[in-house]
Amino acid sequence: MASQALPERETGVGAIHALPSPYLLFLGDTVEPGYAKTAFGLRDWAGDRCLGEWSLPAATVSTGLPRLTPAEAAAQGARSMIIGVASPGGAIPVSWMPELIAALDAGLDLVAGMHVLLTSITPLRELAARRGRRLIDLRVPPPSLPVANGRKRTGRRLLTVGTDCALGKKYTALAIARGLVERGVDATFRASGQTGIMIAGQGIALDAVVADFASGAAELLSPDADADHLDVIEGQGSLYHPAYAPVSLALLHGSQPDLFVVCHQPGREAVLGFPGYPLPSIETVIERTVLLGQLTNPAIRCVGISLNTAGMTEDEAEQLIAATSARLGLPVADPIRGGPAFQRLLDACQA
């Protein structure tokens, strides 16, 4: 998919990150496309800042960008290498170290949104100091976060929720925010994860926040606003995910969404990385999101469904979208495909 124009944004909450571009995207030794969502997100939403990709021989995932070594990328004008992987637990494997060192030696800064911080790795920290390079960690929450207060804030909010992780919550939020802005709506994309922060330039990585303060961080992420303003908040994980449900719940309670859109990937039968956990139905996710979301916003409601139909033909996607809409009585669309179905979803988000 070609690079997409970003929705206009206002100054919001969370550190503002002016990342050194152009970027070289590092895919490590990734074999699961879902774990390379950072690289794909940057390719699709910040493609004008992406120069190429680099990976270890064991990797089977590619963004389709030119393959460049760190030295080749630096020679072509790259200023940083971004770790484009969001692996479970956010670890930085020892096998990646030679390539990270090579990037610093080539004159590139390193950028990561991993739970393991670049600055915590002594060899990288010492080499960066010697080379005059920066180590930029994005998965660092703001200091002095408050405990949530549950106070109803002014303005309106829409949250993307999912039947699983890594299936389109970020893309959906970005597409909805952009589509509404193009209609003249006062809307802002709010990033709650590392990839969204890289794309938007600001936000709060909710999964890096101590549990007691996570809902408070979500409150800060979408502060008081004008009555006609809509914050479109990037969802995280899934309420049915055995590992990430706590983050999803904190984001739901803290963001206090008036509206939500359920994101789903047809054909996925089990939670990514957890084959013993079957995916819930869309209907079940709607029911539970309303039930739990009513704690901080009794008026919460589902306004539509986003289907990730990548890999389907146009006819297959259209038929599934129409059938799902008829079954649920809600607007259903693939925001990346766009078209009349997506315009109907935007109508529901705007109403």
* 172 plus 273 within the same structural domain: yes
* Of residues 199, 262, 188, 265, the one with CA closest to residue 232: 188
Answer yes or no: is 10 within a domain: no
130-139 in b/e form (b: 16+ CB < 10 A) is eeebbbbbbb
The answer for residues whose C-beta is within 8 angstroms of residue 151's C-beta and 6 or more apart is 219
38/125 same-domain check: yes
Whether residue 146 lies inside any domain: the answer is no
Q: 177, 218 in Cβ contact below 8 A?
A: no
Same domain membership, residue 240 and residue 168: yes
Asked whether residue 97 falls in the same domain as residue 190, the answer is no
Q: What confidence score (pLDDT) does residue 330 get?
A: 98
Q: Based on the fold, state whether residues 113 and 190 are members of the same structural domain.
A: no
Interacting residues of 227 by C-beta distance below 8 A, sequence separation 6+: 154, 155, 156
Decide if 192 contacts 234 (C-beta within 8 A).
yes
Q: How far is 114 from 87, CA to CA, in rounded Å? A: 8
- Give the pLDDT score at 273: 87
Same domain, 196 and 305: yes
Alpha helices by DSSP H, the chain: 37-45, 70-75, 97-105, 122-131, 169-182, 194-200, 211-221, 245-255, 282-293, 314-328, 339-350
Residue 65's Cα: distance from chain center in Å? 20
**Residue ranges, the chain, pLDDT below 70:** 1-17
Q: Using the 3D structure, point to which of 102, 137, 172 is the last residue of a domain.
A: 137
Whether residue 126 is found in the same domain as residue 190: no
pLDDT of residue 87: 76
pLDDT tens for 170-200 read: 999 999 999 999 999 999 999 999 999 999 9
Question: Within a domain: residue 94?
Answer: yes
At 86 the pLDDT is: 84
End position of a domain, from candidates 137, 172, 205:
137
Give the pLDDT confidence of 58-114 residue by residue, as tens digits.
999 999 999 999 999 999 999 999 999 987 778 899 999 999 999 999 999 999 999
pLDDT of 3 reads: 41
Q: What confidence score (pLDDT) does residue 15 get?
A: 56
pLDDT of residue 188: 96
pLDDT value, residue 290: 98
How many domains in the chain? 2
Give residue 72's domain range: 23-137
CATH code of the domain containing 213:
3.40.50.300
Q: What is residue 58's predicted lDDT score, i.e. its pLDDT? A: 96
Residue 29 lies in a domain: yes
Other beta carbons within 10 Å of 197: 23
Model confidence, pTM: 0.89
Cβ distance 207 to 236 under 8 Å? yes
Is 11 part of any domain? no
